[in-house]
Structure 1
Amino acid sequence: MIKLEPVELHNKLYTAIVVELPETSLTIVTGKKGYIMCGALDIDILNKKWPNRKMPAARALGVQTIDELLEAPLADVSKAAEALGVKKGMTGKEALYYM
């Protein structure tokens, strides 16, 4: 099952996406410039394999819900996200302000 729902933060609307898979789920919140995601995202691949795409992205580990993703500290941040002001250790909610 795939669930989409709006998330209001910082007087803006973001899109939350949850893809339920066997034994896990993919959890994503996206803004106009970038997105945050659960541990399924591989930041190293974004930075090394596709640096020309300049994708602002960050991931939090050990999260399963949208609320957990918004509150968790970010474990990894892409170079493009850093350029927007996103820093490792910020909460997902804080990072979305820049995205």
Structure 2
Amino acid sequence: MQIEKIELDKGSAMGLSFHMQTAPLLVIKADKGFVMCGYLDMETADSLGDVAVKVKGVNTFDDVLKAHVVGATQSAINLGIKMGMTGKEALELMF
């Protein structure tokens, strides 16, 4: 498991990487929400009211920051997050 502080323009986020059998589970958490890899169950995150965003095809924290948003909860959309923006852009809105 790897835990890393990730400095962004509007604050510090916390990255968590946990190597599963075939691909890493990656999460970067900011103050108001998080960006996660394809392991994220959007229905569960949405039903819990989380500000959550999904990106796919990522293996590193840098990949998460550069990847484009392919899913977002209603709470994330209400915060101004849009499909297609980068993980970094979404995280900046979560401070």
Band of TM-score, shorter chain: over 0.9
Q: Matches of residues 77-88 of structure 1 in structure 2 within 5 Å?
A: 77-88=72-83
Q: How many positions carry a matched residue from both structures?
A: 94
Show the counterpart of 1:21: 20
1:10-89 equivalence runs, <5 A: 10-47=9-46, 50=47, 53-89=48-84
CA displacement at 1:44 relative to structure 2: 2.8
Note the alpha carbon deviations across 1:46-70, whole angstroms, 9 max, x for none.
33xx2xx310000111111100000
| 1:8-55 Cα shifts (integer Å, max 9, x gaps) | 0114110010011111110010001000000110213333xx2xx310
Indicate the structure (1 or 2) with the bigger Cα radius of gyration: 1
Shift, 1:92, TM fit: 0.3
Gapped regions of structure 2 (runs ≥ 5):
none
State the alpha-carbon separation in 2 of the partners of residues 54 and 17 from structure 1. Answer: 21
Q: CA RMSD for the aligned pairs?
A: 1.0
Partner amino acid for 1:97? Answer: E
Query: Quick one: which amino acid aligns to residue 17 of structure 2?
Result: V
Counterpart Cα distance in 1 of 2:90 and 2:73: 12
Structure-2-length-normalised TM-score: 0.93
**TM-score, normalised relative to structure 1:** 0.89
Identity of aligned residues (%): 33
